[in-house]
Amino acid sequence: MIDPKIFYRKLDSLLAKIGTEKSGEDFLFTIVQELEKTFGEDLHICNGRIYVEQDDKFVLVSPKENKKNYLTEIPVDSDPLQALLKSKTYIFDDPNFTIDSTVLLKKDYRIPAAISVKSPENRWIFVFELKSGWIREEIEFCFNAVRTVLNYRLTSEAVKSEMEQAVQIQQSLLPVNMPEVEGLQIAARSVPAELVGGDFYDFFDFDDDVFGVCVGDASGHGLPAALLVRDVVTGLRMGLEKHMKMVYTFKKLNNVIYRSVYSTSFVSLVYAEIEKNGNILYVNAGHPSPLIYDGQEFREMPSTGLVFGALPEIQLHRGYAYLKPDDLMVLYSDGIIERKNGKQNDFDVTGLKKIIERHYDKTPEQLIEIIFDTLYVYGGKKDWEDDATVVVIKRTA
């Protein structure tokens, strides 16, 4: 029997290696080799190999050489394999009930022992052979610890991969470059509170006479909000491109969101079409009112209807505004005005207006930089608690 202190020290080292070993094609077999290297003599284990599930069988994948020495396929419905999958760790000490019958044919018969390992996408089994002198409690304790840490590592990597894909999907929805529109200077920024978020903005360049801009906020943040954003942005692009009738498009979009699997969520959204002469036609579905500033006073673009998804049918009408030469138009999400300081006071619309007044002469890019820098300091330089988005449009003289 191995000394308990030595056993736990070695096991600690092995589990740490599982957590830090570089991922790759041979990651799992590297762990099998490390397990043999660390505990081969103490636990009397040898000849580790790996099978991966493929359709209705588990197929031998490691080691890649000398495969003729081992069973190459194990049917999923075989009783020994089912026993292993049920118990997660199994020592086949009965020759009449074994996971690898080829072991019986060897001159120096050894007892097979196996563990099952899984990720969200795959299942594997590790099979070892036990030489004389093995102790059940030590084998099961070691194998179960390795299996638990491996499953956690594989699941964490799969989730991380899914989140990275979600980040890429959301980034692909946001415009990569600011549109170049005659008579307008445009800048935008969106910062999610988590890897992905519920804020979004988009632009619609219909023709030389009309330019569209949209800012929205799906309730909550994280992956559920990001999935809802994907559906909303896709629906807007299809609907507005096809119909160019904003009220009709948004009423249809509301019905889709209400009936979707995200029916417990809702979306606030403001969409504006800016004509070349400065006229603005817009709808505001429960979103914070965009601000227009001419260097002297503010004008707001208030709500013209309810948020999307709250009711199967909504009353939504168009609003009108005007953008004079040198006017600033600032669209934003509630993550901007609800940013809190150490005393839990909101930054509020008043704080945003003060920044716009003070830096009216700045370019849209500079103004957005100042807004986010100011809010970062206001919040104690802490991470954003809610998604934050700002779009600034200036009509040039």
pLDDT of residue 379: 93
Q: Which two tokens stand for residue 115?
A: 């563990």
What span, in angstroms and rounded, lies between the C-alpha atoms of 159 and 141? 27
Quick one: 229 and 322 in the same domain? Answer: yes
pLDDT of residue 250: 85
User: Above 60 in pLDDT, residue 80?
Assistant: yes
User: Which of 128, 143, 166 is where one domain is finished?
Assistant: 166
Mean pLDDT of the 286-293 span? 96
Which structural domain, as residue segments, surrounds residue 145? 4-166
Quick one: 209 and 237 in the same domain? Answer: yes
pLDDT of residue 235: 82
User: Above 90 in pLDDT, residue 121?
Assistant: no
pLDDT of residue 73: 93
pLDDT of residue 261: 54
Tens digits of per-residue pLDDT, 261-286? Answer: 544 578 899 999 999 999 999 999 99
pLDDT of residue 263: 46
Quick one: 182 and 118 in the same domain? Answer: no
- CATH code of 61's domain: 3.30.450.40
Mean pLDDT of the 364-372 span? 97
Look up the pTM and report it.
0.63
- CATH code of 332's domain: 3.60.40.10
Contact 185, 394 (CB under 8 A): yes
Residue 396: name the closest of 214, 205, 186 by CA.
186
User: Above 80 in pLDDT, residue 105?
Assistant: no
The confidence band for 354, taking pLDDT boundaries of 50, 70 and 90, is very high
More confident of the two residues 28 and 172: 28
Quick one: 302 and 354 in the same domain? Answer: yes
| Total domain count, the chain | 2
User: Above 90 in pLDDT, residue 220?
Assistant: no
User: Above 90 in pLDDT, residue 219?
Assistant: no
Tens digits of per-residue pLDDT, 234-270? Answer: 888 887 764 457 788 888 888 878 876 544 578 899 9
User: Which of 166, 197, 217 is where one domain is finished?
Assistant: 166
Quick one: 79 and 188 in the same domain? Answer: no
What span, in angstroms and rounded, lies between the C-alpha atoms of 124 and 151? 10
Contacts with 293 (C-beta within 8 Å, 6 or more apart), sequence order: 299, 327, 328, 330, 353, 356, 357, 360
User: Which of 137, 166, 195 is where one domain is finished?
Assistant: 166
